[in-house]
Copies of this chain bind each other. A is one copy, B any other.
Amino acid sequence: MSTRKTERANALADALARRGVLHLRDAAALLGVSEMTVRRDVGTMPDRFAYLGGHIVSADDIAGGYELGREADSHANAKFRACAHALKLIAPDDTVFIDCGSTLDHLAQQIPADLIITVICYSLNVAQRLAEKPHIRMIMLGGIYHPASATFSSGEWLEPLGRFGINKAFISAGGVDVERGASCSHFHEVPIKQKAIASALESYLVVDDSKFGIVKPAYFARLSDFRAIITEAGAKETADA
């Protein structure tokens, strides 16, 4: 086997690791050889590359058979329904705060593309969902990225957050306990959640039923701080006030 071919194979594998797929003609341009040569290369290394109708993908991408990583969100359905209830509270022209977490991902996702509102968020996932809806005005609080929760945090935004005219704040929690209130796993989220709750006209806690009775390390609010707690069963007003 020639050294040239090996070099090309490595360059190809490299590019595939970054881009996922490569069209035959792009691969040829990238490697500086003809399409025919790329085709021949790929054809002789079926264990490294797979060739699908003019496109090259890494062979183990399409290995099939074993499906390890994808652990489905166990309570996805409950979360989805909880958010469907939350969605009913949002009216045109509202300014809403959407907290982070997989639960509120569903809320961002469910917002109709033609509902014109302003949304304030600080989670990358929520932002991605909102970015797909061109009519939504989005304000994102930036800062340092926290991979564990896909959120940003910074001192810069705390003060401005208090000045936005937030109508409704939708907050999630990792744990909800009647005595110990609402809590989450990441301390950096606490000031943001608290500021949002404090400055919003109405705050709602959106969680699925599995969160009740759980206490996480970072406490951030009493249950009575919320107008209602929204679960898959609907909105329950908080007892006291």
A residues in contact (CB < 8 Å) with B: 16-21, 23, 26, 29-30, 50, 52-55, 57, 61-67, 70, 76-77, 80-81, 109-110, 122, 124, 127-128, 130-131, 134, 137-145, 147, 150, 152, 154, 156-157, 160
In the bound complex, residues from chain B placing their C-beta under 8 Å from that of A18 are: 64-65, 67, 109-110
Evaluate contact between B145 and A142: CB separation under 8 angstroms.
no
**Chain B neighbourhood of A80, CB < 8 A:** 19, 26, 30
Which of B29, B50, B57, B141 is within 8 Å of A142, CB to CB? Answer: B141
Q: How many copies does the complex hold?
A: 2
Let me know if B142 and A139 touch, CB within 8 A: yes
In the complex, what's the smallest C-beta–C-beta distance from A158 to chain B, in angstroms? 10
- On whether the beta carbons of A147 and B128 are closer than 8 Å, the reply is no
- Rounded to whole angstroms, the CA-CA distance of A199 and B110 in the bound complex is 41
List B contacts of A62 (CB < 8 A): 20-21, 57, 61
Question: Which of A23, A55, A143, A154 counts the most chain B CB atoms within 10 A?
Answer: A55
Q: How far is the CB of A31 from chain B (nearest CB, A)?
A: 11
Chain B residues contacting A26 (CB-CB under 8 Å) are 76-77, 80
A67 CB, nearest partner CB in chain B, Å: 5
Nearest CB in chain B: distance from A214 CB, A: 23
In the complex, how many angstroms separate the beta carbon of A16 from the nearest chain B beta carbon? 8
A137 to B152, CA, bound (A): 11
Q: Is the CB of B137 within 8 A of A157?
A: no
CA distance A62 to B145 in the complex (A): 25
Quick check: A66 and B124 within 8 Å, CB to CB?
Answer: no
Q: A55 to chain B: which residues have CB within 8 Å?
A: 52-53
- Tell me the nearest residue of chain B to A15, going by C-beta: B80
B65 touches A57 (CB 8 A): no
